[in-house]
């Protein structure tokens, strides 16, 4: 007979939910995990992981095309095999999904393939008729793509799911939304041969990033042949014989664009429907559940983590919240998550990664407190490893409090930015000052030396600039 009474029940099996289940099991709790679709959630199955698999295929394709530059002949006429790329991407996602299932079994977590709804204090009802009881319930239901009335998703207008499994490369493509998801799809489809137009309603692409970094990303995208239009929105769309015609409004100037396909990447909304929240004290604002620093909602015994609990919408934030939440339930001392210490990564070409404040935000903060900031910059053109790799375009930018030496923000644009940003993440977590970072010995030759040089630059001590 299947067990139905637990110490902890988790609704949602994504990077937040399954990590919460594992940590709770490690702490000796009996745990139920309810997942209506695939273990691993959107991130593993239809987001973070399969997109990175496709983007890596694009990286290999790009390397083959440029092989002659590195003294390798015969690879210059490389062409994309889209079916093979997609098949590999799905295989990678499938492998990791099996891994999560193994982890659930290994840690003694009882998994229910169903949807769940709150049914009173400490109770859940599943759509398969099962009733669960748990002292603590963690909601980790994630989020979904925001729908735009002017662009109804269908055969030719895609959301991320359709964009991950194309059967052919569109000759022309419009990507609506130039945040991380839009930038990544624009990079992939441009690499495999599509003519790409990337638009956003804001004044710059990657609007969440430091303005200087965003401008460099735009310049790189345009150099690759991606058409970028900012302060631009789609007002209407209609299907044609073979594609989609859209009407664009760019600062009051209207124009028409016809493309084979459209990808909608205009943000997300939290999955808060059909959870039974209406009869509880759980508060929802702008489709996200309101929580405190320990992930508690307004309803005793009910918690929320990950995308459903609001920005930043990042898998690693969800996993960190999962551990924090469960350890708080177990009575362990925990510290509320600091958004300024959560790195953000965009896996476009080139990649963009950041942590903490942008220069503009840091200066605004300093102006209010009577302080000042120091800004350091170092280009990869001065780094031996980057030159040897043939990837010497990019920038590392650091922002410090001028008086205390606190690292306020760090920003990187480079094909390896996502791997490099963790160095600054560790520094921020350890509350390292500029002196600590300047005295750190970085191996040579490595790309990480640029992190050191940018810190030195902020204090007028750069060695290779």
Residue 304, annotated as binding a ligand:
no
Q: Is residue 226 one of the residues assigned to a domain?
A: yes
Residue 178, annotated as binding a ligand:
yes
Count of other CB atoms within 10 angstroms of residue 454: 26
Q: For residue 48, what are its two tokens? A: 């973070």
- The domain tally of the chain equals 3
pLDDT of residue 163 exceeding 80: yes
User: Do both 363 and 436 map to the same domain?
Assistant: yes
Beta strands in 193-252 (DSSP E): 195-199, 227-229, 232-239, 244-250
- 203, burial (CB in 10 Å: exposed 0-12, middle 13-18, buried 19+): exposed
Q: Which of 249, 266, 283 is the last residue of a domain?
A: 266
Mean of the per-residue pLDDT values for the chain?
96
Q: Which of 226, 245, 266 is the last residue of a domain?
A: 266
Instruction: Using alpha carbons only, give the angle 385, 209, 373 rounded to the nearest 5 degrees.
Output: 85
Residue 243, annotated as binding a ligand:
no
Question: What pLDDT, in 10s, does the model give residues 229-240?
Answer: 999 999 999 999
Do 305 and 140 meet the contact criterion of CB atoms below 8 Å apart? Answer: yes
User: Do both 201 and 66 map to the same domain?
Assistant: no
Question: What pLDDT, in 10s, does the model give residues 266-303?
Answer: 989 999 999 999 989 999 999 999 999 999 999 999 99
- Looking at residue 237, its pLDDT comes to 96
User: Do both 44 and 121 map to the same domain?
Assistant: yes
Question: For the residues 355-371, what does the mean pLDDT come to?
Answer: 95
Q: Is residue 411 one of the residues assigned to a domain?
A: yes
User: Do both 281 and 138 map to the same domain?
Assistant: yes
- Looking at residue 74, its pLDDT comes to 85
d(C-alpha 211, C-alpha 217), whole Å: 10
Q: Which of 118, 116, 265 is nearest to 187 (CA)?
A: 265
Question: What pLDDT, in 10s, does the model give residues 108-118?
Answer: 999 999 999 99
Q: Is residue 151 one of the residues assigned to a domain?
A: no
Element spanning 189, H or E: helix 180-191
Residue 180, annotated as binding a ligand:
yes
pLDDT class of 465 with cuts at 50, 70, 90? confident
Specify the higher pLDDT residue, 3 or 263: 263
Q: Is residue 76 one of the residues assigned to a domain?
A: yes
User: Do both 129 and 278 map to the same domain?
Assistant: yes
Element spanning 420, H or E: helix 417-429
Question: What pLDDT, in 10s, does the model give residues 253-274?
Answer: 999 999 999 999 998 999 999 9
For the chain, the 3-state helix, strand and coil shares in percent, each to the nearest 5, are 35, 25, 40
Do 306 and 12 meet the contact criterion of CB atoms below 8 Å apart? Answer: yes
3-state secondary structure 295-353: CECCCCCEEECHHHHCCCCCHHHHHHHHHHHHHHHCCCCCCCCCHHHCCEEECCCCEEE
Residue 183, annotated as binding a ligand:
yes
Q: Which of 19, 61, 20, 15 is nearest to 7 (CA)?
A: 20
Q: Is residue 152 one of the residues assigned to a domain?
A: no
Q: How far is CA 66 from the centre of its chain?
A: 29
**At 323, which CATH number?**
3.50.50.60
Residue 184, annotated as binding a ligand:
yes
Q: Is residue 98 one of the residues assigned to a domain?
A: yes
User: Do both 106 and 11 map to the same domain?
Assistant: yes
Q: Which of 242, 266, 290 is the last residue of a domain?
A: 266
pLDDT class of 19 with cuts at 50, 70, 90? very high
Q: How far is the CA of 347 from the CAs of 103, 364, 416, in angstroms?
A: 27, 29, 9
Element spanning 268, H or E: strand 268-270
User: Do both 31 and 135 map to the same domain?
Assistant: yes
Q: What residue numbers bound the domain in which 439 lies?
A: 350-459
User: Do both 130 and 273 map to the same domain?
Assistant: yes
User: Do both 39 and 124 map to the same domain?
Assistant: yes
Q: How far is CA 92 from the centre of its chain?
A: 18
136, 320, 444, 452: the active-site residue: 444
Do 327 and 378 meet the contact criterion of CB atoms below 8 Å apart? Answer: no
User: Do both 134 and 9 map to the same domain?
Assistant: yes
Residue 307, annotated as binding a ligand:
yes
User: Do both 125 and 30 map to the same domain?
Assistant: yes
Residue 182, annotated as binding a ligand:
yes
Half-sphere exposure of 81 (CA within 13 A, CB side): 7
DSSP class per residue in 358-416 = -HHHHHHHHHHHT--EEEEEEEGGG-HHHHHHT----EEEEEEETTT-BEEEEEEEETT
User: Do both 213 and 290 map to the same domain?
Assistant: no
Question: What pLDDT, in 10s, does the model give residues 55-95?
Answer: 999 999 999 999 999 999 988 789 999 999 999 999 999 99
pTM of the model: 0.95
d(C-alpha 337, C-alpha 324), whole Å: 8
pLDDT class of 223 with cuts at 50, 70, 90? very high
Residue 177, annotated as binding a ligand:
yes
Q: Is residue 364 one of the residues assigned to a domain?
A: yes
Q: Is residue 131 one of the residues assigned to a domain?
A: yes
Element spanning 56, H or E: helix 48-65
**At 395, which CATH number?**
3.30.390.30
d(C-alpha 68, C-alpha 59), whole Å: 15
Question: For the residues 218-236, what does the mean pLDDT come to?
Answer: 97
Residue 181, annotated as binding a ligand:
yes
Residue 52, annotated as binding a ligand:
yes
Indicate if 444 belongs to the active site.
yes
């Amino acid at each position: 007979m299947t067990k139905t009474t637990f110490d902890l029940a988790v609704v949602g099996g994504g990077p937040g939910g399954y990590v919460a289940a594992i940590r709770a099991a490690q702490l000796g709790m009996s745990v139920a995990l309810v997942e209506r679709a695939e273990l691993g959630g959107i991130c593993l199955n239809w987001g973070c992981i399969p997109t990175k698999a496709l983007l890596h295929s694009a990286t290999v394709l790009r390397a083959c095309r440029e092989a002659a530059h590195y003294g390798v002949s015969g690879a210059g006429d490389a062409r994309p095999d889209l079916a093979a790329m997609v098949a590999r991407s799905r295989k990678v996602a499938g492998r990791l999904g099996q891994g999560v299932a193994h982890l659930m079994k290994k840690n003694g977590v009882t998994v229910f393939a169903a949807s769940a709804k709150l049914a009173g204090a400490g109770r859940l009802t599943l759509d398969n008729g099962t009733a669960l009881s748990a002292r603590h319930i963690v909601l980790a239901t994630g989020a979904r793509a925001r729908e735009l009335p002017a662009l109804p998703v269908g055969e030719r207008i895609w959301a991320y799911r359709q964009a991950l499994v194309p059967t052919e490369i569109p000759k022309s493509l419009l990507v609506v939304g130039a945040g991380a998801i839009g930038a990544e799809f624009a990079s992939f489809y441009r690499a495999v041969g599509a003519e790409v137009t990337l638009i956003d309603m804001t004044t710059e692409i990657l609007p969440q990033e430091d303005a200087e970094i965003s401008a460099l990303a735009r310049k790189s995208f345009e150099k690759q042949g991606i058409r970028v239009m900012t302060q631009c929105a789609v007002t209407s769309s209609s299907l044609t014989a073979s594609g989609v015609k859209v009407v664009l409004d760019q600062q009051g100037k209207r124009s028409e664009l016809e493309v084979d396909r459209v990808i909608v990447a205009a943000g997300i909304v939290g999955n808060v429907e059909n959870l039974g929240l209406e009869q509880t004290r759980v508060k929802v604002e702008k489709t996200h559940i309101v929580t405190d620093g320990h992930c508690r909602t307004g309803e005793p015994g009910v918690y929320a983590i990950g995308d459903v609990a609001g920005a930043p919408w990042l898998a690693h934030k969800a996993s960190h919240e999962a551990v924090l939440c469960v350890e708080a339930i177990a009575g362990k001392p925990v510290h509320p998550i600091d958004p300024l210490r959560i790195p953000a990564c965009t896996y476009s070409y080139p990649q963009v990664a950041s942590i903490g404040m942008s220069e503009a935000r840091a200066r605004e903060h300093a102006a209010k407190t009577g302080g000042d900031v120091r800004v350091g910059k170092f280009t990869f053109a001065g780094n031996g490893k980057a030159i040897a790799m043939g990837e010497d375009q990019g920038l590392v930018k650091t922002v410090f409090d001028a008086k205390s030496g606190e690292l306020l923000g760090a920003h990187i644009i480079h094909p390896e930015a996502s791997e490099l940003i963790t160095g600054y993440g560790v520094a921020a977590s350890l509350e390292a000052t500029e002196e600590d970072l300047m005295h750190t010995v970085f191996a040579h030759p490595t790309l990480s030396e640029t992190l050191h040089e940018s810190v030195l630059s902020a204090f007028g001590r750069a060695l290779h600039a």
